[in-house]
Amino acid sequence: MKKKSSKTLIIVESPAKAKTIQKYLGNGYSIAASVGHLIDLPKSRLAIDIEHGFQPEYITVRGKAKILKSLQAEAKKADTVLLASDNDREGEAISFHLKNALQQKNPRLPIKRIIFNEITPHAIREAVSHPLAINMDKVNAQKARRLLDRIVGYHLSPILWKKVKNGLSAGRVQSAALKLICERETSVESFVPEEYWSLEAELQKGKSLFKAMLIEYQGRKPVIKNKSEVLKISESLKDAVFKVTDVGFTEKRLKPRAPFTTSTLQQTAATRLGFTSRKTMRVAQQLYEGIDIGSGRIGLITYMRTDSTRVAGSALQEVRDFIHKSFPEELPGKANFYSPGKGAQDAHEAIRPTYVNNTPESLKSYLTNEQYKLYAAIWERFVSSQMIMAITKTVSVDFKVRETLFRANSTSIKQKGYQRALHVLAQREKGKKLPRLTIGEEVTNLRFHPEQHFTSGPSRYTDASIVKILEEKGIGRPSTYAPIISVLLDRYYVVRKNRQLVATQLGRIINNLLVKSFPDVVDENFTARMERRLDEVEENKQEWVSLLEDFYGDFKKQVDYVMDTLESVKGVMDEET
């Protein structure tokens, strides 16, 4: 009698990921997708039993019952189920709830967890060969965060409905981010710019034209407040001789940057590619989950939610071999290592290409324009991180002219180093090349160029700068930076103007109310401390229930007090201006 072949069901989060993984495994495997969370708190009520240890009341997410039923049916046909949701807190919670839901129908079914950092044949086969138990510390950290956010949102939102406007909502982490944006808006509005002027001389030697900037006047740095002052200086130098009094050379060593974390990827994509944080994460997700590159479907980058700059030893060897072959002069004697940022959990590798030989150009025809740009940035940053430093050389030429000193600068690349790998991320060379000049030599002054300026105050936050400050202050985690910005935009507490994040009148009213009534909830230090405590739950150093107990008592008292005493500002939004 022929032995029945065993069947394994693997459940991932997204259909795109399922499509990629299906190709890597044999006939004994079937792949299905949960399409995110299937089990969660209901939207319409608190659903947390505060009196009995903050026990949550989970339900099947509305609209997901059909998917759950289908997965339960698929699981019935399987001998083993492997849960392959993302390797983070949310992914662990998805696996935990899925396991419970599947075992309700089939209590004896073996269900295990598999994790991987990239979607490649080797990584998937390796994960399938080494299944794990579900990490309950991660599940508890997700539960604590979910319940904490539900408690804050559920209690603050009714205050906003009653005192400001129906339909509003407030959340724990995004309220701290809104406060930062509102504070910056106040600084921008209160800043009074001051006028000042600069003066350049357009000089000539032979056929070469170049400019020199006024850097000293009457023995000190010039402070030119208006047009009449700058014209007075230029008039006094009308027939003066521009003679070279000094020629200096300086070298600057530029170290390569570490491979990307979630935060630095979002910052670079914003400043260099003009991507919003939401777009960056959407495109990165596509690259991670798999692209058909002709020879087959493959994940092109490692997991894109990480705070680590660590790189696997095998990937380091692969990139060093690639540099040895492609840029032999730029290969350092040993690998470059980068220390993780302050407070980094270091749970995942840095974001890097899964195969460094998949160069951006070789994949260009398989990628959309957005995918190509982001993949090229990730590839270039990773390859360049393992190359030697670049060296720039700056030539400074001083011209002493009566009571003034003018200086011309020119910077050139002496050693390209890691910059040889940069194209999408390449920096432009600054300054026009100067002619060869020697001390005592005279040059012709063709004309002066006075220019008006105004002192610049604090800049409004952009996607790049808000992500940077959120990370620096410990507000949120790699998985939450983009959603924080999206929530503020979706609620119309913030709008985006010329890539800048501007607090709306509504956002400022909400912020003023929260700062006045719930200073702890919107305080960046409190939010950062709470993030650290959630990390401690994940590290099994903190009980999730005690974290909620410590928070809830004082918070609920303040909610009740504010609900009774806070003056309503309803109608403010509708007043004519």
Residue 186 lies in domain = 140-191+459-574
Task: Quick: pLDDT tens for 112-164.
Answer: 999 999 999 999 999 999 999 999 999 999 999 999 999 999 999 999 999 99
Residue 159 contacts by C-beta under 8 Å, 6 or more apart in sequence?
A: 513, 517, 559, 562, 563, 566
Residue 249 domain-assigned (yes or no): yes
Indicate if 179 and 215 belong to the same structural domain: no
Indicate if 535 and 489 belong to the same structural domain: yes
Residue 240 domain-assigned (yes or no): yes
Indicate if 209 and 162 belong to the same structural domain: no
| SS (HEC) of 332-360 | CCCCCCCCCCCCCCCCCCCECECCCCCCH
Indicate if 378 and 286 belong to the same structural domain: yes
Q: Which of 24, 58, 288, 303 is catalytic?
A: 303
Residue 269 domain-assigned (yes or no): yes
CATH classification of the domain holding 209: 2.70.20.10
Indicate if 151 and 34 belong to the same structural domain: no
Indicate if 22 and 128 belong to the same structural domain: yes
**pLDDT band for position 38 (cuts 50, 70, 90):** very high
Beta bridge partners of 109: none
Task: Quick: pLDDT tens for 217-230.
Answer: 999 999 999 999 99
| SS (HEC) of 379-423 | HHHHHHCCCCCEEEEEEEEEEEECCEEEEEEEEEEEECHHHHHCC
Last residue of a domain, one of 115, 134, 153: 134
> Rounded distance, CA 418 to CA 421, Å?
6
CATH classification of the domain holding 85: 3.40.50.140
> Rounded distance, CA 415 to CA 418, Å?
9
- Nearest-Å Rg of the Cα atoms of the chain is 30
pTM assigned to the model: 0.90
Indicate if 377 and 412 belong to the same structural domain: no
> Rounded distance, CA 505 to CA 513, Å?
12
Residue 2 domain-assigned (yes or no): no
Residue 161 domain-assigned (yes or no): yes
Residue 373 domain-assigned (yes or no): yes
**Residue 574: is its pLDDT beyond 70?**
no
Indicate if 146 and 127 belong to the same structural domain: no
Told to judge if 418 belongs to the known catalytic residues of this protein, a careful annotator would answer no
Residue 264 contacts by C-beta under 8 Å, 6 or more apart in sequence?
A: 257, 258
Indicate if 394 and 420 belong to the same structural domain: yes
Residue 107 contacts by C-beta under 8 Å, 6 or more apart in sequence?
A: none
Q: Of 450, 459, 454, 464, which Cα lies nearest the Cα of 264? A: 464
Residue 195 contacts by C-beta under 8 Å, 6 or more apart in sequence?
A: 225, 226, 452, 453, 454
- For the chain, the domain total comes to 4
Indicate if 130 and 27 belong to the same structural domain: yes
Residue 353: CB atoms within 10 A of its CB come to 28
Task: Quick: pLDDT tens for 511-566.
Answer: 999 999 999 889 999 999 999 999 999 999 999 999 999 999 999 999 999 999 98
Residue 1 domain-assigned (yes or no): no
Tell me if 44 sits within 8 A of 62, measured CB to CB. Answer: no
Indicate if 229 and 377 belong to the same structural domain: no
Q: Of 87, 201, 141, which Cα lies nearest the Cα of 542? A: 141
Indicate if 187 and 199 belong to the same structural domain: no
**Residue 3: is its pLDDT beyond 60?**
no
Which residue type does 15 have? P
CATH classification of the domain holding 357: 1.10.290.10
Tell me if 111 sits within 8 A of 71, measured CB to CB. Answer: no
Go through the chain and tell me how many residues it has: 577
> Rounded distance, CA 375 to CA 391, Å?
26
CATH classification of the domain holding 162: 1.10.460.10
- CA–chain centroid gap for 228, Å, is 47
Last residue of a domain, one of 384, 400, 428: 384
Residue 3 domain-assigned (yes or no): no
- What pLDDT, on the 0 to 100 scale, is given for residue 487? 94
Q: Of 197, 231, 228, which Cα lies nearest the Cα of 448? A: 231
